[in-house]
Every structure is written in structure tokens, then in C-alpha cells.
């Protein structure tokens, strides 16, 4: 398929840059200003700056339910989700309730292939075998209307904790804590599921403290901040926008990880991902830990990932981490095959580039695709085509149902788009849910073609041709004397960077002094500015798909600046985000 176009747009940097009151590297200060950081207060990631738990609607009722359940030794069952946010949420809830004195708690995670997402009536039937008195959903439940009613028919109390966008009707749970439910005034609508359940546990501890719980039972009051490594991991892995509250969660969690105050399972996942304790950044959670944890839910059962996070044994955690790494390697192989098939399908759609154009909203399906990997495939195809993509795979015993995973682009709220289609065509979609940029859905196989047409039409209502062009936001051009180790270290320390608070990217024209292929598909380069002898090491991941060097003498690039550490030595390295001949 033809190479997609990219447009590099430079961010607007306010002048003068606000006085942040600290000795910041000027490039980092300019990056903060371009990301609308108005004052030093917004860079204060102390826990004391977080809003209190009771700022969340429904917190008081939720805490009452939990306190009564623990005080009465009721059977508590945490029902999680099968991604990294769900796994960290589940592990955190289990750890926190246990440390607060709850001795009768278990967890259950639906297998995505057998039960699908959320508190479905089917998973309630499985939960009923454990005879819980209270079910707590984490990172799910806000769309589980039937599942909540089924649980209550069994006599179970249901507390829903979630962060996903609700539908037109809320579940009739006994309590709901979700910053996105109507009427909630919590200052962040972006916290992940793990952030929500962390807040609920903070609220529960405050209630127990007020009741004299710890003193009466001679229980040490737990420091729940010790769970912030889990909050950081779930927040980063779920790719939620890093507003100030989420940056605080991630910064605090990273500080604990780098001080070697993390749990054995997370440490084992970092080690198997070749990350160095003491210099772990948010990107390491995103690219080394999150995918390995997610692999369990994608290919097998997320119970494996949760047990890794809950393990107190270094040896056992290492064994579990190794198994997760194996699953992640298998996931990569499946993903590679699916990408090849998807690209072939795109070629077929563009046989005549003049007469036939890709629809603005793209649906892809193959009989052989794996349900657990379609989300990643949708992301890859979205990156390649710069348009909303939904990848489908067969589901159900006879494959009569299709499961879809959707990824969007700026300008289209994907969940709202699915909602609009459901209103206009009530019989097309069986169920759906999600966020602005990612969603999931299911539909009958016979509805695939009409859904594709409806999706393309709905997307075309919102996006123009200009919206479908790849855009790279740059923090500008750097002079050769700015590209040094001081900048590399300042940028690493300047985070946490992530979704909606991106790590600075710079652009510039370089001459290619040398290049070679490493790892079969990555380009290792030596670059220099024209008319300047200083050279810089650079790496362009996945740029040598055919296993050959580019052979280009001069390139225009968009790149990040990093400090590469190898065998105890540090060196400046440019991470190429985009390069094109010039």
C-alpha cells in the first residue's frame, strides 16, 4: 500500500515561558508551556495535592457497603477486567481489602473468549458458585445492566467502580463510583479504573480510621501509598490522558518503583523487559510491562497476570513473568500475521487509487483473526491509515457473532459514533462500550456489511480529508549544541510523559553518515546536521521492514531525545518517530 502522508506541525510556545520557580532546562520549560502548564503548582506531584475521596459521587454509600461487609465478615468478590487496568485494579482491591482487615475476599476475572467483557449474567452464574455477599466490579460494570440485576436476584450486593463512559441508563447497583457518571463533580474525568478503586480504598480507610477500627482490632493502619506502583502501571497501560491527577499517580508510582519499593511481580516484569531499576520511566511501563501483562488476557486468562502482581515470592513472580513473556512473544507472532493479512486487504481496497478510496471509517475482518489481538491490530492500522479503524474477529461457538475493537483519531469520539449508529440502526449492534479513542462492540455476522456502511457514513459526518492526514506535533528544531546529555537527562526527569502530555518531539534535517539494520527490522543510524561535524546516534524502530537499509543520504526527521544505557555506559540517542527523504 502507498506510504501515508505526514505533516509536521510545530507547537505554539508561549512567550515568555511561565516562571515555574525551579531550575528547569529551558527546552523542558518551553515544552511545559506548550502543554499549557500555567504554574509550578501544576508540576507539584505530592499526594497532598490530590482531591479527597469524597469528591467522587457515590463514595459515601460505597464506603458504607464496604465497611459493613468487612465488619460483618461478609464474602467479598472482586470482578475485574482482562486488560492491564483491570488486572492492576483487581490486585489493588485484593491487597487493600486484605491489609484493611478484610479476611474473606476473592477475585474473579472473566475469560474474554468464554464470557466477554464486564459483569455479564453468565459471569454472575460463575460468581454465584463462590456465594459472595458483595460483588465489587473494577474497571467494568457501568454498562452491565443485566448482570447487576442477575447478581441482585441471587441476593448479592453490587458496588460498581468503573471509569468508562456510561450509556443512557445506569445499572441499578447498590452503589456506583465512576467520575464519568452524570452529576459527578470530580475534577478529573480521565482516571483509569485502578485510580477509581484506589480512591475507594482511601475512602474506606478514612472511614475505618474514624470508627477506631485499627485500634480496636490492633491492626496496623496500612500505608495505601504502597499500592501506587499498581496505580501507575494501570494508568499508563490504559493510555488515559495524563492530566495532573494522573501524572501525580504515575510520578508517585515510579518513585516507589525506582526506590525498589515495588512488588516482586512488577519487578520481575521489568527485569524480563530489560529495564533498569532506578531509571524506570512511564514509557517502560507502557512498552515493557503493560504488553506482557496484557498478553495473559489476550491469549489465555488474566488470572495469570493478577497472580504475578499478587505474588510475594521473588522466585514465583519470576516464573509467572517468564510465562507472560512467552505469551507476549506468541501475541507478537499472531499480530504480525494479522497485520500482513490486513495490509493485503487494504491493497485490495485500493486497486484503483483514483476511482476507489478507503472509506473514512474503516472496518476489517478475517475468519482467522484472534479476538485477543484485534485491538492491537486496529491500533496499527489506525496509525498506518490515519483514520478510525474497527478490526473484527469471529466469536461464539459457531462464529455466528463478531467481536470488534475500535480505535479512533482526533476529531471523532468513537463511543459516541457507535451510540449514534445504534440509535439510527437499532438492530445492527448487539452491545458496545468504551472511550473517546477506543471502544469495543459485538454484532451478528450477518450485520457486518451493513454495519461497515453505517460506520463509514457516520465517520464521514465528522471527519474531513484534512483530518485523515498524519500529523506529527513537534516542539521545534534544536541546534547541535542543544543536543547533549544534559538535555537527555532533563527530558527523562521531566515526565511523566504520556497520553495528552506527550514527550517532546523535535524535527530537523540530517545527513545520514551511516546506517545498518539491527534486530532484522530496525535501523541504527549515525546522523549529522548539514555543515556541522557533530554526529548523533539514532535508532528508527520498525523502519527496515524488508530487512534492508534505506539508502537515503539526507532525511527530514521527527525524533525524541533519550539517554541510552548499555553495559554501564550512557550515550545520547535520538529515537526516530518519522523520517522521509529530503
Helices (H) and strands (E) in the chain, counts: 18, 17
Compute the distance between CA of residue 79 and CA of residue 125 in angstroms, rounded to an integer. 12
Residue 88 contacts residue 308 (beta carbons within 8 Å): no
Q: Which residues pair with 522 in a beta bridge?
A: 518
Query: pLDDT band at 115, cuts 50/70/90?
Result: confident
Compute the distance between CA of residue 272 and CA of residue 277 in angstroms, rounded to an integer. 12
Share of residues in the chain with pLDDT > 90 (%): 77
Grid coordinates representing 484?
547533549
Helix (H, G, I), strand (E, B) or coil at 439: strand
Q: In 3D, which of 26, 440, 71, 112 has the Cα closest to residue 219?
A: 71
Question: At 214, which helix (H) or strand (E)?
Answer: helix 213-217
Residue 504's pLDDT is 97
Strand duo 535-540 + 6-10: pairing: unpaired
Q: How many CB atoms lie within 10 A of CB 466?
A: 9
- Write the pLDDT tens digit of every residue in 57-68: 999 999 999 999
Residue 350's pLDDT is 59
Residue 107's pLDDT is 97
* Least confident residue range of 158-167, 343-352, 478-487: 343-352
Residue 324's pLDDT is 96
The answer to whether residue 436 scores a pLDDT higher than 90 is no
Helix (H, G, I), strand (E, B) or coil at 162: coil
Q: In 3D, which of 69, 67, 100 has the Cα closest to residue 222?
A: 100
- Write the pLDDT tens digit of every residue in 312-361: 999 999 999 999 999 999 998 998 898 888 888 877 765 444 444 788 99
Residue 186's pLDDT is 97
What would the mean pLDDT of 516-539 be, rounded to a whole number? Answer: 92
Compute the distance between CA of residue 107 and CA of residue 567 in angstroms, rounded to an integer. 42
- Write the pLDDT tens digit of every residue in 387-416: 999 999 998 776 689 999 999 998 999 999
- Write the pLDDT tens digit of every residue in 538-565: 999 888 766 677 788 999 999 999 999 8
Q: What is the dihedral of CA 19, 20, 25, 30, to 10 degrees?
A: -70
Measured on CA atoms in the order 488, 490, 493, 494, is the torsion positive or negative? negative
The answer to whether residue 3 scores a pLDDT higher than 50 is no
Query: pLDDT band at 297, cuts 50/70/90?
Result: confident
Helix (H, G, I), strand (E, B) or coil at 485: helix
Grid coordinates representing 455?
460506520
Question: At 244, which helix (H) or strand (E)?
Answer: helix 244-258
**Residue 398 preceded by cis peptide, ω within 30:** no
The answer to whether residue 271 scores a pLDDT higher than 80 is yes
Grid coordinates representing 339?
497485520
Residue 151 CB-half CA count within 13 A: 33
What Å distances lie between residue 451 and 19, 136, 285, 395, 431, CA to CA?
Answer: 52, 34, 36, 17, 13
Q: How many CB atoms lie within 10 A of CB 566?
A: 8
Residue 547's pLDDT is 65
Q: In 3D, which of 13, 29, 5, 106 has the Cα closest to residue 475?
A: 13
- Write the pLDDT tens digit of every residue in 207-242: 999 999 999 999 999 999 999 999 999 999 998 999
**Residue 467 preceded by cis peptide, ω within 30:** no
Share of residues in the chain with pLDDT > 70 (%): 96
| pTM of the entire predicted model | 0.90
Q: In 3D, which of 317, 286, 108, 62 has the Cα closest to residue 192?
A: 286
Average pLDDT of the residues of the chain: 92
In this structure, what are the phi and psi dihedrals at residue 57, rounded to the nearest 5 degrees? -60, 135
Residue 108 contacts residue 131 (beta carbons within 8 Å): no
Q: Which residues pair with 76 in a beta bridge?
A: 105, 134
What would the mean pLDDT of 489-512 be, rounded to a whole number? Answer: 95
Compute the distance between CA of residue 248 and CA of residue 254 in angstroms, rounded to an integer. 10
Residue 79 contacts residue 306 (beta carbons within 8 Å): no
Q: Which residues pair with 401 in a beta bridge?
A: 395, 444
Grid coordinates representing 109?
476475572
Q: Which of the 8 DSSP states describes residue 189?
A: S
The answer to whether residue 536 scores a pLDDT higher than 80 is yes
Residue 6's pLDDT is 74
Residue-range domains of the chain with CATH: 6-35+472-581 (2.40.50.460), 55-325 (3.90.1640.30), 350-468 (3.10.310.30)
What would the mean pLDDT of 418-433 be, rounded to a whole number? Answer: 92
Residue 433's pLDDT is 84
State the residue for C-alpha cell 500482513. 340
Amino acid at each position: 500500500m502507498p506510504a501515508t502522508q505526514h505533516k509536521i506541525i510545530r507547537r505554539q510556545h508561549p512567550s515568555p515561558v511561565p516562571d515555574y520557580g525551579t531550575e528547569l532546562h529551558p527546552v523542558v520549560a518551553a515544552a511545559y508551556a506548550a502543554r499549557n502548564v500555567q504554574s509550578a503548582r501544576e508540576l507539584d506531584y505530592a499526594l497532598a495535592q490530590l482531591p479527597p475521596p469524597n469528591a467522587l459521587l457515590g463514595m459515601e454509600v460505597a464506603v458504607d457497603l464496604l465497611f459493613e461487609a468487612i465488619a460483618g465478615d461478609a464474602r467479598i468478590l472482586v470482578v475485574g477486567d482482562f486488560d492491564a487496568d483491570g488486572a492492576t485494579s483487581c490486585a489493588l482491591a485484593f491487597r487493600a481489602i486484605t491489609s484493611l482487615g478484610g479476611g474473606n475476599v476473592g477475585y474473579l476475572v472473566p475469560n474474554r473468549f468464554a464470557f466477554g467483557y464486564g459483569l455479564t449474567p453468565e459471569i454472575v452464574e460463575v460468581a454465584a458458585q463462590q456465594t459472595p455477599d458483595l460483588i465489587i466490579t473494577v474497571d467494568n460494570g457501568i454498562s452491565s445492566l443485566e448482570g447487576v440485576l442477575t447478581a441482585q436476584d441471587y441476593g448479592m450486593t453490587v458496588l460498581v467502580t468503573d471509569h468508562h463512559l456510561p450509556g443512557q441508563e445506569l445499572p441499578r447497583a447498590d452503589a456506583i463510583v465512576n467520575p464519568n457518571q452524570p452529576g459527578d463533580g470530580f475534577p478529573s474525568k480521565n482516571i483509569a479504573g485502578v485510580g477509581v478503586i484506589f480512591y475507594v480504598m482511601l475512602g474506606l480507610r478514612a472511614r475505618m480510621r474514624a470508627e477506631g477500627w485499627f485500634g480496636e482490632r490492633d491492626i496496623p493502619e496500612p500505608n495505601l501509598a504502597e499500592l501506587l506502583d499498581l496505580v501507575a502501571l494501570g494508568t499508563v497501560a490504559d493510555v488515559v490522558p495524563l492530566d495532573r491527577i494522573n501524572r501525580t499517580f504515575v510520578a508517585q508510582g515510579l518513585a516507589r518503583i525506582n526506590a525498589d519499593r515495588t512488588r516482586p511481580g512488577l519487578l520481575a516484569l521489568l527485569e524480563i523487559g530489560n529495564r533498569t531499576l532506578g531509571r524506570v520511566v512511564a514509557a517502560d511501563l507502557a512498552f515493557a510491562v503493560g504488553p506482557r501483562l496484557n498478553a495473559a488476557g489476550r491469549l489465555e486468562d488474566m488470572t495469570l497476570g493478577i497472580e504475578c502482581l499478587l505474588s510475594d515470592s521473588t522466585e514465583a513472580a519470576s516464573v509467572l513473568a517468564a510465562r507472560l513473556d512467552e505469551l507476549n512473544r506468541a501475541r507478537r507472532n499472531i499480530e504480525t500475521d494479522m497485520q500482513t493479512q490486513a495490509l493485503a486487504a487494504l491493497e485490495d481496497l485500493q486497486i484503483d487509487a483514483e476511482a476507489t478510496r478507503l472509506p473514512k471509517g474503516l472496518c476489517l475482518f478475517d475468519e482467522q483473526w484472534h479476538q485477543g489481538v484485534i485491538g492491537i491490530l486496529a491500533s496499527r492500522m489506525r496509525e498506518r491509515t490515519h483514520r478510525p479503524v474497527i478490526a473484527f474477529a469471529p466469536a461464539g461457538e459457531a462464529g455466528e457473532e463478531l467481536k470488534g475493537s475500535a480505535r479512533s483519531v482526533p476529531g471523532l469520539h468513537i463511543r459516541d459514533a457507535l451510540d449514534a449508529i445504534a440509535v439510527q440502526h437499532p438492530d445492527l449492534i448487539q452491545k458496545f462500550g468504551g472511550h473517546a479513542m477506543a471502544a469495543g462492540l459485538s454484532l451478528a455476522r450477518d450485520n457486518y456489511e451493513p454495519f461497515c456502511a453505517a460506520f463509514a457514513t457516520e465517520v464521514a459526518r465528522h471527519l474531513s480529508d484534512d483530518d485523515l492526514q498524519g500529523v506529527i506535533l513537534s516542539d521545534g528544531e534544536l541546534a547541535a549544541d542543544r543536543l547533549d546529555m544534559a538535555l537527555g537527562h532533563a527530558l527523562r526527569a521531566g515526565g511523566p510523559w504520556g497520553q495528552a502530555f506527550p514527550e517532546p518531539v523535535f524535527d530537523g534535517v540530517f545527513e545520514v553518515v551511516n546506517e545498518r539494520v539491527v534486530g532484522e527490522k530496525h535501523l541504527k543510524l549515525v546522523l549529522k546536521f548539514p555543515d556541522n561535524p557533530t554526529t548523533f546516534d539514532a535508532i528508527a524502530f520498525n523502519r527496515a521492514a524488508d530487512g534492508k537499509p534505506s539508502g537515503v543520504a539526507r532525511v527530514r526527521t521527527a525524533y525524541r531525545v533519550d539517554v541510552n544505557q548499555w553495559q554501564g555506559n550512557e550515550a545520547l540517542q535520538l529515537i526516530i518517530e518519522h523520517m522521509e527523504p529530503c
